[in-house]
Chain A
């Protein structure tokens, strides 16, 4: 057994242990902390699987932003925990354990008897890479070969934010999401929120730019930009924008909007929906990615901020 295999087994065992701890620990807040750690370790598994693009997305969005939103909710609901102590009965738990175990077994058997040689689309992707002028195959798939998925995913993000906003009470409709964060303007957090964003914005744009040829791209860059904005909001240096703001709404529809316009352009002047003319493929993709990054950053940050709670004037 090589050292690499040993490391993989230990990593898998730690991930599983964390998953079980996250499910069984009594406090919800601890479960959220466990989930963050789990997300970061799963990102390591993705690195071992040679999928660095996914690893970055998982660490930034799955573990990072997902963790923050869970931690925030767990902190707000902490007092209510004692009220809901009713656990399902023994029979239900036994049945659930049997069901889960059998599904895990079926999946494990399926993993062990996967067909050989494995079906793959990688050679097709690589042989068609010349059509777009991008060297990162994942970006190629996301932005060109399966661009429809990515466009619809932007629509899903928009629907999610519409869903979150529509949970506002009548008085708060059109107001600012989340509580107003007050922090010492000369404190450490405000210091960090002044020092980091310039570098963080550069890193976000770098991730977007380098995504053409290396691991990175609109999602990872957008997540970094979103976290910078959230840091400034949490330090009290800026407030969340009112959801009725027109410029904010324009940013939120920019990504899917540009995507749709380019797609319809392909339908009108080219062979099919979302067909890029080969000569302009790279500039078009980059244009869509820039719009998408802005939209992703704004949407992720606002999803974290939650439903509008305060009127816009305060």
Chain B
């Protein structure tokens, strides 16, 4: 078993675990964490494919590497935006549910929920 196989299977499992968490965890913050786990699994798949494409002078194909670096930064900015939205939701609605039935906060806003 090579590194590619071991980490490839690990990446596939990480995608599965992340997806399960994304669906079953009710809290938005947990969904964000699960989504990041899913994303890192996808990035690792890029990594093993780049590793297989290694050529003389580099141990890993630089094109997927560059794509993953871009992807990590974009994933972080999306996470930060999602968390800012969550905090704002909590502030206006007073609760942390994504359900559409009426939020029961002190200054509840029917459109937020």
Contacts and interface: CB of A to CB of B under 8 A. Distances in A.
Chains A and B in contact, CB within 8 Å? yes
Interface of A: 1, 4-5, 8-9, 12, 15-16, 19-20, 22-23, 28, 31-32, 35, 38-39, 42, 45-46, 48-51, 53-54, 57-58, 61-62, 65-66, 69-70, 73-74, 76-77, 80-81, 83-84, 86-88, 92-93, 96-97, 99-101, 103-105, 107-108, 110-112, 114, 118-123, 125-126, 137-138, 140-142, 145-146, 149-150, 153, 156-157, 160-161, 163-164, 167, 169, 217, 219, 296, 299-300, 303-304, 306-307
B19 A103 contact: yes
B62 to A, nearest CB: 4
B70 A149 contact: yes
A70 B49 CA distance: 30
Nearest to A12: B10
Contacts, number: 296
Given A35-B36, A54-B68, A99 B19 contact: yes
Given A28-B29, A157-B73, A49 B60 contact: yes
A257 B5 CA distance: 42
Nearest to A88: B24
9 contacts: A22-B33, A57-B69, A70-B79, A77-B96, A84-B95, A120-B52, A122-B63, A142-B70, A156-B77
Contact of A146 (B27, B43, B45, B66): B66
B37 A303 contact: no
Contact of A123 (B30, B55, B75): B55
A50 B27 CA distance: 36
A34 B99 CA distance: 27
Contacts of B99: 86
B45 A77 contact: no
Contact residues of B: prevailing secondary structure: helix
Interface residues of B, number: 82
A208 B85 CA distance: 32
Nearest to A165: B84
Contacts of A149: 66-67, 70
A54 B11 CA distance: 15
A264 B106 CA distance: 52
| Interface pairs A-B: 9 shortest CB-CB | A50-B59, A104-B16, A120-B53, A111-B8, A107-B12, A23-B21, A160-B77, A118-B52, A122-B55
Contact of B3 (A48, A62, A118, A125): A48
A296 B72 CA distance: 13
Given A70-B32, A88-B24, 20 more contacts: A12-B7, A23-B18, A39-B40, A45-B44, A49-B3, A50-B60, A76-B87, A96-B20, A108-B8, A111-B4, A114-B8, A114-B49, A126-B55, A141-B62, A156-B74, A160-B78, A164-B80, A167-B84, A303-B80, A307-B84
A220 to B, nearest CB: 9
A306 B87 CA distance: 9
A150 B70 contact: yes
A221 to B, nearest CB: 13
B95 A80 contact: yes
B26 interface: yes
Nearest to A157: B77
Contacts of B14: 15-16, 19
Contacts of B10: 12, 15-16, 45
